[in-house]
Structures are given as C-alpha cells and as structure tokens.
Structure 1
Amino acid sequence: MMHRADSLFARLLGVFLAAILLAHALAFAWFSHYGEHPPPAEQHAHGPGLPPPEAYGEDMPPMPPPEAPTHGLEIDGPLIVLGFQLLTLLAAAWYGARLLSRPIRRLAEAAEQLAEDLDSPPMAETGPRETRLAARAFNRMQQRIRGQVQQRTRMLAAVSHDLRTPLARLKLRLEQIPDQPLRERMDHDLGEMIAMFDATLRYLHEQRDSETPQRLDLQALVESMAEDAQEHDADVSVRGQCGPLMAQPLALRSCVGNLLGNALRYAGHAEIALCDSREAVEIRVIDHGPGIDKAQHEAVFEAFFRLEGSRNRSSGGVGLGLTIAREAARRQGGDITLEETPGGGLTAILRLPR
C-alpha cells in the first residue's frame, strides 16, 4: 500500500480528488452565504418596520413598495458552481501536468548531459516511485557505459603498448634483410601499423576528454594555426571575419587542424574562409585538389575508411582524421559537411551554433 500511495498515479489522483472536493465546497459556501432568503409575508407587503395601511387614514396616499435588498451583482447560482469547478479543475490540471512532466524533463536533461559528457553527475533518485526507478535505471546505464568505454580504452592501450615491443624488434631485424625493395616495403607496413595504433589511441583519448566550453576568439585561433602552417612552408590563407563564441578550445583546434591537414596532404594548399551570422559561425576549409566523389561524402567520416586513388593510404593518414574532426564538432553542437569546390576540389564546412 505504501508503494502504491507513493506512485505518480496516486499523486495525480489525489490532486484531482482534492480539486473536485474543493470545487464543491466553494459552491456550497457560496450558496450558504448568497443564497435566496425570502422575507416574511408581512414584510413583503409593507416593508420592514412599517405600520399597516389602516394606521394612516383614508386620505394618506399608498406607500410605494420597498425595494428588495440586493447583495451586489445578481449571478445565477449554477453559473457560480460551474465557474468554481472550472477554475479549480483548471488549476488541478495545470499542477497535474507540471507534476507529470517534471520527471520526464529531468530525464531528458540528464540524457542530454550524458551525450555531451560521459562523466556527468548521476540523476538524483528522488520523487515518486516511478521517477526513482527511472533515475536508478538511468544511473546504472551510465555506469555500464562508462565502464565499457574505460575497459575498451584500457584494452586497446594495453594491446598498443604490448605490440610496440615486438614491432620495434621487427624494425631492427629488417636491417638484416639483404633485399632492399622488400626491406623498404616491410618497413613501410610496420610504420603504418604503428601510426594506426597511435591514431587509434588519440581518437579514443579525444572521445573520453571532457572540456569545459569557454568564450573563444575563433578568428585569432584560425589565424594562428594558419601562421604555424605557413612557418612550415605550407600554402595557407585566411579570409573573412567572425566574432568570439562559446566553444571547447582544444577540441576546436583538433577539429580545424584535421581539416587543414587533410587539405594540405591531398591538395598541397588550403584556403580558410570565415563566415559569421547571428545563428552560427562557419569555417570553410577549401582546396582545389583531386576532391572526393559526392556519393562518398558521408562514408569518409567513418573510422578507418580510406579512398582508392589519390586520397588513399599512399598519401598518408590512417582514416581517422575526419572522424575525429566530426565528433569534436558534434560534441560542441555543430557538425561538418563536405561539398565540391567550384572548379574542382573539396570544401569542408565546419558549422558551430552560437
């Protein structure tokens, strides 16, 4: 019985029962105070406190009938009842809807925080029984997800660490192979394996990294990254302007850096265009290289996906750059899309909402 009385259904039922009883009590009080009280017959004929007509004689003109006493505006009784009931039930409906939507809103807010940060604080297990059960299940789910991600990260880190030693021994033994072309191919394959391990660990680390957003001068960040690339003889230019916005600095630097690195790797040059508006900021990384077929614009964001042709493993990379960039953008509420550059090439568009 205690569990049933503590449920959300019992609370809503109690609210509506209380509203109905209150509405009827108010209506009863109204009729008790403002109901009709017919005066005595003698008072109706002569008015209260007046002598009968015989006392005035025959020449005395008749007195006008007294006015009936009023109590303010005359309103029909049933309308008062319906008005009280309507107002009371409307108040009960508003409170019941608020009571019903509050735990759902809390659950939605907790789910949104979990999507942005896996280490977000757990939900408070308070309220009626259904709310406590939902919060307890949500907290268990969060703990399991966090444990699985941590276990996966530890496993891959251990595998990467344990494989480095035999890979290093293999690289040393390669020097003993007399066939130089074979030795170079094997050395290239080993180097690619090591690069894949490093990129995978970096990808997992950025997935787990939680960074507090802060007000960031995005234009200064982009210009400084372009200057760093120019110091290494890279052909990079910046045009346009944008104002500061709330963002995660390290994640945003990683995101723009991956887009810029892809453009320089495959096209040898890059142009960064800044476009600002009231709703969002766009960063366009434009190149005039070989480009990507439109049918594969979404596929290239998958982890370890590589294209055949000029944008493949022979150009460097392990297929995680765009994956890391898009996930960094989405953690900040933005996204990355690709489109063809007019005249040939590829344009990566990073859009961040204000």
Structure 2
Amino acid sequence: MKRLASLFPDTMFTRLFGLAVAALLTTHLVMTSLFLFFEPPREPPPPPASTARASAPPLLASTPLRHAPPPPRSHFPPAFWLGQLLTLAIMSLVAWYGARRLARPIQHLTHAAALLGDNLQAPPVQETGPRETRQAARLFNRMQDKLRLQMAERSRFLAAVSHDLRTPLTRIRLRCAQLDDAALQARLGKDIDDMAAMLDATLAYLRDDAKEEAWQWLNVTALLQAMAEDAEELGHRVQVSGHADRVYTLPASLRRCLENLLENAMRYGGGAAEITLQRQDGELRIDIHDHGPGIPEAQLDVVFEPFVRLEESRNRHTGGTGLGLSISREAARRLGGSLTLFNAAEGGLTARLTLPLDHGAALYRN
C-alpha cells in the first residue's frame, strides 16, 4: 500500500486523471460489449452451383430434414483493436493534460500558503484558472495584504513605544548621578543599562522582522568560515567541518541567525564552539555545539520565548537580553527551516539549524 501510494499520491491531479481514465475505459468496454452482443450473424458464402449439384446426395422421402447450425459470428479484425488502443491512448493524453491544467492553480495556491507561514513578503498568487480558483487566489492575496499591514502596524507601534521609553530612561540616569550613595547609584545604573540593552534588542528585532529582503544564492560554507575567522580574531576557538553547496536563501536573515547561535555558544561554552555542516535527505543541517553546562530538558523550548533567560547558566549578569534565540528561530522559519536545541551526549548544548534545500529551489524556479 505504501509503494502504491508513492506511485499514485492522493492529489487533485491524480483524482482528476484517474476519473477521466476510468470514464474512458468504461466507455470503451460498453461500446465493445454492445458491438459483440448486437452484431448481426455472418452469413456463410454460398457454395458454387456445380459443386453443390455434384456433392448433393439424392433426397429421400424418408430422410428427415435437419436444421442447419446458426452461422458463426464474426470476430473484430486487428485494425479494430488497434484503433481502440490508439483512441484510448490519445484520450488518456488529453485527460492528463486537462487534469494537470486544472490542478495547477490549486498547487500554486498550496505553495503560496506554505510560503506565507514563513515570509509575509512572499509574492502574491497568480489569479489564473477557473473562476473558483481565481476567486480563491484573490481572497488569499487580500488576506496576505491585511496580515502584512497588521504586522507592519504592530511593528511601528512597538518601535514607537520602545523609542519613547528612551526619554524617561535618560532622565532617570541623570537623576541617578545626583545620588550620594555610590552603591545604590551603581545598582540603579546597572538596571538602566539593562533596560537600554533590552530596548536596543527590541528595536533590532522589530527592524529585522519588518525588513524586506531578496532571496539570493549564498555559499554557506564560506559564510561560516568567515564567521569563524572573525571569532578567532577576538580570541575565540571555532572549528568548522563539513561542506555545503550554494543555497537559495535570505543572506542577511541566515547570517543573523547563525551569528546569534555562535555568540551564545561562545558566551556559555568558554569561548569555544564547533560547527558541523551536513547534507542529508534534501536538507542542510548546521550544528553549532558548545561545551557549556547545557540547558535542562524541560526548558529547551522555553528559552525561545522573548526575554526569557535561565537564572542558573544564562542570566543577565553574563550578558544578553533574551532575544537572541527568538530572533534565530524567527529567521529559521522565514527561511522555511527549523531551529532546535538538544543536550549532547558528551556534554554541552547543540543548536541545530535545518534548512530544506527544495524550499529555496522552488522559489528560484518560480
């Protein structure tokens, strides 16, 4: 059953084509049965007159008359069957073409719906095909425009609020400088710095979320090697193993995602990290492994929430605002992939970025 399902997937094209072929086969079978059933019997040719007189025995009065057997029915000639096969082949080809044309708008709509979950800036669906599919595509494009406007309005609102908060923070910083207690002044200054860092991270997050970016070909191996060289110049140890060909992706989003993951690995892994590239089953896997304390299993998904920091190993005193993993996961989704965290068996934490290679290739073909 699984092999049959792989050969004939349950799609709209398969159903339309199967229905057309079944109708053609049924029509041919019915017509052939009617010909066989209602065909008139074939009359045998009459024998020559001389032969009939010579071979005919004398009729005896006492000999009873026998009924002649019914003449045999004729069989279809080979030309008839050849014509049937050619007609069936031509009609099947026409049915295949028609089913493909009818199913193509639905396939485009399905592909656009998959892209919408990853990128609101995806191109609109072409309004082609029958009236029903054109109407569905028109409604889908309208829904995409409304979602894009709502997300842009949300980003503008949050950016305005984050920007306006800088004014009271500046006043608090000036008043804090007037305090006589040096210890209290230092604690308040640290809190103000933390709030300013969170505001900067929020603005950067919103700018990245609302930014329109073009898909381009990118050499991922060269990108990771350049990032490793930059980290080594700062005194960190980063090793890159494996190789990946060019991928069709969003370069800025992919770079920011990898930079956040590598920064976390070096920050919590003692300044050392290992990057592994692997292509498998039509996917590109990028593993960034550190040798830090790891994360409790129950909190592996919680750390992806904005402004979430673990108090034991990833607290505010070690740096960070709790937005790095959120930005990385959103970037992975925008690229059509996924980001997961898991504790390695030999210790440390591994961040795995999985990018489907056919996702970008399909966008490039379209």
CA offsets per residue over residues 285-341 of structure 1, 9 Å max, x none?
Answer: 222222211111111112221212231122221111111112222322332222224
Q: Secondary structure of 2:261's match?
A: helix
Question: How many Å apart are 1:88 and its aligned residue?
Answer: 9.7
> Which whole-Å CA distance do the structure 2 matches of 1:190 and 1:173 have between them?
12
Candidates 260, 268, 271, aligned match of 1:269:
271
1:140 alignment partner in structure 2: 142
> Which whole-Å CA distance do the structure 2 matches of 1:186 and 1:239 have between them?
42
Candidates 291, 295, 309, aligned match of 2:294:
291
> Where in structure 2 are the equivalents of 1:209-288 lying within 5 Å?
209-233=211-235, 235-246=236-247, 247-279=249-281, 280-288=283-291
> Which whole-Å CA distance do the structure 2 matches of 1:223 and 1:87 have between them?
56
Tell me: CA distance 1:353–1:109, structure 2 relative to 1, closer, same or farther (3 Å). Answer: closer
Tell me: CA distance 1:267–1:57, structure 2 relative to 1, closer, same or farther (3 Å). Answer: closer
> Which whole-Å CA distance do the structure 1 matches of 2:315 and 2:52 have between them?
126
Question: How many Å apart are 1:251 and its aligned residue?
Answer: 1.7
> Which whole-Å CA distance do the structure 2 matches of 1:281 and 1:139 have between them?
31
Candidates 326, 330, 343, aligned match of 1:327:
330
Q: Secondary structure of 2:129's match?
A: coil
CA offsets per residue over residues 255-279 of structure 1, 9 Å max, x none?
Answer: 1111111122223312223233353
Question: How many Å apart are 1:213 and its aligned residue?
Answer: 3.6
Q: Secondary structure of 2:260's match?
A: helix
RMSD: 4.1
2:305 alignment partner in structure 1: 302
Aligned partner of 1:229: which letter?
A
1:116 alignment partner in structure 2: 118
Aligned partner of 2:77: which letter?
L
Q: Runs of 5+ in structure 1 lacking a partner?
A: 1-11, 63-67
Aligned partner of 1:264: which letter?
M
Identity of aligned residues (%): 45
* Runs of 4+ with deviation above 6 angstroms: 68-72, 82-93
Candidates 169, 173, 176, aligned match of 1:174:
176
1:348 alignment partner in structure 2: 351
- Do the aligned partners of 1:126 and 1:132 also contact (CA within 8 Å) in 2? yes
Q: Secondary structure of 1:116's match?
A: coil
Tell me: CA distance 1:87–1:184, structure 2 relative to 1, closer, same or farther (3 Å). Answer: same
> Which whole-Å CA distance do the structure 2 matches of 1:286 and 1:209 have between them?
29
- Do the aligned partners of 2:244 and 2:277 also contact (CA within 8 Å) in 1? no
- Do the aligned partners of 2:241 and 2:276 also contact (CA within 8 Å) in 1? yes
Q: Runs of 5+ in structure 2 lacking a partner?
A: 1-15, 57-71, 358-366
Aligned partner of 1:312: which letter?
N
1:198 alignment partner in structure 2: 200
Tell me: CA distance 1:84–1:217, structure 2 relative to 1, closer, same or farther (3 Å). Answer: closer
Question: How many Å apart are 1:226 and its aligned residue?
Answer: 1.9
Aligned partner of 1:215: which letter?
W
State how many pairs are aligned. 317
> Which whole-Å CA distance do the structure 1 matches of 2:268 and 2:107 have between them?
47
- Do the aligned partners of 2:102 and 2:129 also contact (CA within 8 Å) in 1? no
CA offsets per residue over residues 132-161 of structure 1, 9 Å max, x none?
Answer: 332222122111100110101111121122
Q: Secondary structure of 1:144's match?
A: helix
Instruction: Give the TM-score, by structure 1 length.
Output: 0.74
> Which whole-Å CA distance do the structure 2 matches of 1:253 and 1:74 have between them?
68
Instruction: Give the TM-score, by structure 2 length.
Output: 0.72
- Do the aligned partners of 1:215 and 1:244 also contact (CA within 8 Å) in 2? no
Q: Secondary structure of 1:253's match?
A: helix
CA offsets per residue over residues 178-208 of structure 1, 9 Å max, x none?
Answer: 2222222222222222211221222222223
- Do the aligned partners of 1:199 and 1:318 also contact (CA within 8 Å) in 2? yes
